[in-house]
Structure 1
């Protein structure tokens, strides 16, 4: 009998986890496409197949949902944790030039940066989820400066790949372009002047 009373609870827990995951995925897509100001709870809920009231029940507010979606979108430390330091430039470029990015952390960050209500959250998470993990990954002398340079370079390439596409960065980039970007990133990682 004890197992019967646990089964509905387990199912409810799984349903809650699935619902939360659906909301999170819908929110990440919405915030990366429309920014904080353009995304709304009603559309995110519809995409997740639920009501707006349920989104608020799970996350409390649009602000909290945005913060959690941004934090969940990408954890730089985890994404490259198993990458050898000498291969980090190539790994970053492989991610940057991936054709399969539906949820785009860079878009979420850039769009949030111009929204006065979302900017403080984006700045805090940029430090916590991007700058500090990059500093740990690259280590060594001037890690903060080098990490900021890498993030600036990556953001610039992303911007000219997707927001204001420039050849040869946009579309399917050739191996030479990717190799040059990877070499520049690796040079910063290695601390070469």
Structure 2
């Protein structure tokens, strides 16, 4: 008598991560509107129904990707001081994916064509700017310092976008170490203590 074949045990955390990785790649490369849930599921090698199970919808998956990208950036920053921020931004801009594509930063910038997705993105960028402003001494109501933090983020996103979409040299092939100096100058100039 043959024994029944063992049932394949689902690894929910692994499946969820596969979907996040595939979605992050697709959303950053193709944009929100051009990406289908079937594309993401196929890239992840899972059934498309699992997107609904873990994320409720494409919008939910997009929000999870944005949140995950910011969480990864926060983890990378850890309890960074303002002086350490240039190196942390350089790490992100230089690209942590195997192909060197700075997906996390590009994902935060890429136009989605969807009002709700853009609202989610704006909220995450607003939060990230406030966290950066706090490192520079920001307190509620200090609109100038918050603006300076937003300008710093805009410059960082611009670096990531130019690196991913153009072959503008030497920026396109700059390493993390190459980027730290200019980013340090930028952040000190924009966020440094005001007289």
What is the TM-score of this pair, normalised by structure 1?
A: 0.78
Q: Which residue of 1 aligns with 2:148?
A: 146
Number of residue-to-residue matches in the alignment = 181
CA shift at 1:172, angstroms?
3.2
Q: Which residue of 1 aligns with 2:32?
A: 36
Q: Which residue of 2 aligns with 1:167?
A: 169
CA shift at 1:179, angstroms?
1.5
Q: Residue 134 and residue 174 in structure 1: after superposition, are their counterparts in 2 closer, same or farther (change >3 A)?
A: closer
CA shift at 1:73, angstroms?
1.6
CA shift at 1:95, angstroms?
2.8
- Counterpart CA distance in 1 for 2:187 and 2:62 is 30
Indicate conservation of the 8 Å contact 2:95/2:101, yes or no: no
Please list every run of 5 or more consecutive structure 2 residues that lacks an aligned counterpart in the other structure.
Answer: 1-7
- Counterpart CA distance in 1 for 2:190 and 2:11 is 45
Q: Which residue of 2 aligns with 1:122?
A: 121
Please list every run of 5 or more consecutive structure 1 residues that lacks an aligned counterpart in the other structure.
Answer: 1-10
- 2:11 counterpart SS class: helix
Q: Residue 123 and residue 22 in structure 1: after superposition, are their counterparts in 2 closer, same or farther (change >3 A)?
A: same
- TM-superposition CA deviations, 1:108-150 (whole Å, max 9, x none): 122235544522221122213x212212232246431221121
What value does the CA root-mean-square deviation take over the aligned residues? 2.7
CA shift at 1:173, angstroms?
5.3
- TM-superposition CA deviations, 1:15-59 (whole Å, max 9, x none): 222221221111111111111012111111112221111211221
Q: Which residue of 1 aligns with 2:184?
A: 182
Q: Residue 160 and residue 102 in structure 1: after superposition, are their counterparts in 2 closer, same or farther (change >3 A)?
A: closer
CA shift at 1:71, angstroms?
0.7
Q: Residue 179 and residue 26 in structure 1: after superposition, are their counterparts in 2 closer, same or farther (change >3 A)?
A: same
Q: Residue 113 and residue 49 in structure 1: after superposition, are their counterparts in 2 closer, same or farther (change >3 A)?
A: closer
What is the TM-score of this pair, normalised by structure 2?
A: 0.77
